[in-house]
Amino acid sequence: MSFSTLLELESCPRRWALKWAEYSGLWEGRGYPLLPVQSSLEGTVVHRAIGRINAAISAKGCTSVRDASAVTALRELGGYTVVIKECIIEGLRSYATNPRALPVLETIRQRLTARLPELRSLVQMHVSRLTLGDQAPNTTRLRKSRSPMGRRPLVDGTYTELEVRDAAIGWQGFIDFLSLSATVCEIRDFKTGSPKPADNLQISAYAVLWSADAELNPTRRCANRLILSYSQHETEIPAPNDEAMAVLREELRQRTATALESIAQELPDARPGVDNCAFCPVRHLCDEYWNWLPNSSAVLETPQPYFSDVEVTLTGRHGPLSWDGCMYDPIASRHTNILMRTANLQFELRTGQRLRLLNVHINVPQQVDDQKESHICVVKMGTTSEAFLCSP
């Protein structure tokens, strides 16, 4: 169990089950193929770049990025921009065999590249805050516990993407940055988004896992600094003492048991709602979502026209890239005729097919009178839209 998995299970057990079910007939990857999300990829790029830069300047024996030898280390890497470009390539490489990602991968790459100045500033800001402690010259203090050499007692130094485990409660987590010295044991979590209520609990949970990891931390040394590093500021929260960690550890154990029970059912509960469903990567597979959507506030309270998801039935071809069909119009509380303009389709369309469309532009015409005549609603697919064919 991890902190992110726990939050996902508590939020919607059905989403977790649909994401991690087996789809061997669809692709060779694990779970359902997920669409690349730019904000998540930006976070991945920033974390990787910080780790690479930290490794390089630590290897020079620097105590901070302001040391003269840190300039040499950065120059050898090619500079911030080169490092970030390389991390973008690495981040997108994992989607190379993802059938869902292929149609939008180039668009995502272009958008990330266009964000290079902002990503560079973000990485520079996070790196400038790091205190690396006393380093032995020409000795890399980076340890990644994903490697075979990582599961052994850690010496003073800095570590990025460090996996920590509490075997007794079955938990693991990845600490963004751990700094160890004679007097300081600092856990730092890099955040590329806005502060969230769960951030404090997450980094406190990492302190629990670090304290309980008998392989990396056999002396049970406790963290004495917990830092949440945001884009505009950093926040230090009180490090939990032994009593507080025992309470938090028990809370994690109990919440884990409840969460695992929620997915033990043959069909785990779905919990449709704006917060849960707006960015759910498997909502097209969830019937409860489509039953909830037409009359939800996400549609009824949205100014016209709007972007949303919609289920349509095709009634005939209208043109080379357009089809006639019908959908349920929640504004008018009835089914209505539509004109669907297509893009990025990965399969052939035929009359009678039922489609679930994600992230489409919907323009519902204004009602001009009280007659029950059919008004044509235009549903337009764009570069980020997706279409999924429903079973007959």
* One-character DSSP codes across 92-126: HHTTTT-TTTGGGHHHHHHHHHHTHHHHHHHHHHH
| 60 confidence band (pLDDT: 50, 70, 90) | confident
Q: Which residues contact 377 (CB under 8 A, 6 or more apart)?
A: 327, 329, 336, 337, 338, 339, 362, 363, 364, 365
pLDDT at 65: 76
Assess whether pLDDT exceeds 80 at residue 79. Answer: yes
Sign of CA dihedral 259, 175, 152, 208: negative
Mean pLDDT for 102-114 is 93
**Pairwise pLDDT comparison (132 vs 125), residue with the higher score:** 125
pLDDT at 341: 94
What digits encode the pLDDT tens for the residues 309-360? 999 999 999 999 999 999 876 655 677 889 999 987 878 999 999 999 999 9
| 366 confidence band (pLDDT: 50, 70, 90) | low
Mean pLDDT for 357-377 is 71
**Pairwise pLDDT comparison (131 vs 356), residue with the higher score:** 356
Give the burial class of 293: count Cβ atoms within 10 A of its Cβ; 0-12 exposed, 13-18 middle, 19 or more buried. buried
Q: Which residues contact 56 (CB under 8 A, 6 or more apart)?
A: 73, 74, 76, 77
Give the burial class of 304: count Cβ atoms within 10 A of its Cβ; 0-12 exposed, 13-18 middle, 19 or more buried. exposed
| 140 confidence band (pLDDT: 50, 70, 90) | very low
Q: Which two tokens stand for residue 211?
A: 């304290």
In angstroms, the CA 251 to CA 253 distance is: 5
pLDDT at 144: 44
Assess whether pLDDT exceeds 50 at residue 243. Answer: yes
pLDDT at 133: 61
What digits encode the pLDDT tens for the residues 144-160? 444 445 589 999 988 99
In angstroms, the CA 229 to CA 209 distance is: 20
Mean pLDDT for 164-185 is 94
- What is the average pLDDT value for the chain, to the nearest integer? 88
| 139 confidence band (pLDDT: 50, 70, 90) | very low
CB 36 within 8 A of CB 102: no
| 374 confidence band (pLDDT: 50, 70, 90) | low
Assess whether pLDDT exceeds 50 at residue 137. Answer: no
**Phi (first) and psi of residue 176, to 5 degrees:** -60, -45
Q: Which two tokens stand for residue 85?
A: 């470009």
Mean pLDDT for 9-19 is 97
pLDDT at 138: 32
Assess whether pLDDT exceeds 80 at residue 178. Answer: yes
| 367 confidence band (pLDDT: 50, 70, 90) | low
Assess whether pLDDT exceeds 70 at residue 369. Answer: no
In angstroms, the CA 139 to CA 193 distance is: 33
In angstroms, the CA 51 to CA 91 distance is: 14
pLDDT at 301: 56
Q: Which two tokens stand for residue 173?
A: 């987590």
What digits encode the pLDDT tens for the residues 33-43? 999 999 999 99
Assess whether pLDDT exceeds 90 at residue 69. Answer: no
What digits encode the pLDDT tens for the residues 248-294? 999 999 999 999 999 998 999 999 999 999 899 999 999 999 999 88
Per DSSP, the residues of 146-192 read TSGGGSSPPPSEEEEEEEEEETTTTEEEEEEEEEE-SS-EEEEEE-S
What digits encode the pLDDT tens for the residues 284-311? 999 999 999 887 765 555 566 678 899 9
In angstroms, the CA 30 to CA 164 distance is: 23
Q: Where are the beta strands (DSSP E) in the chain?
A: 157-166, 171-180, 185-190, 225-229, 234-237, 306-319, 322-329, 334-341, 354-363, 377-380, 386-389
Assess whether pLDDT exceeds 50 at residue 216. Answer: yes
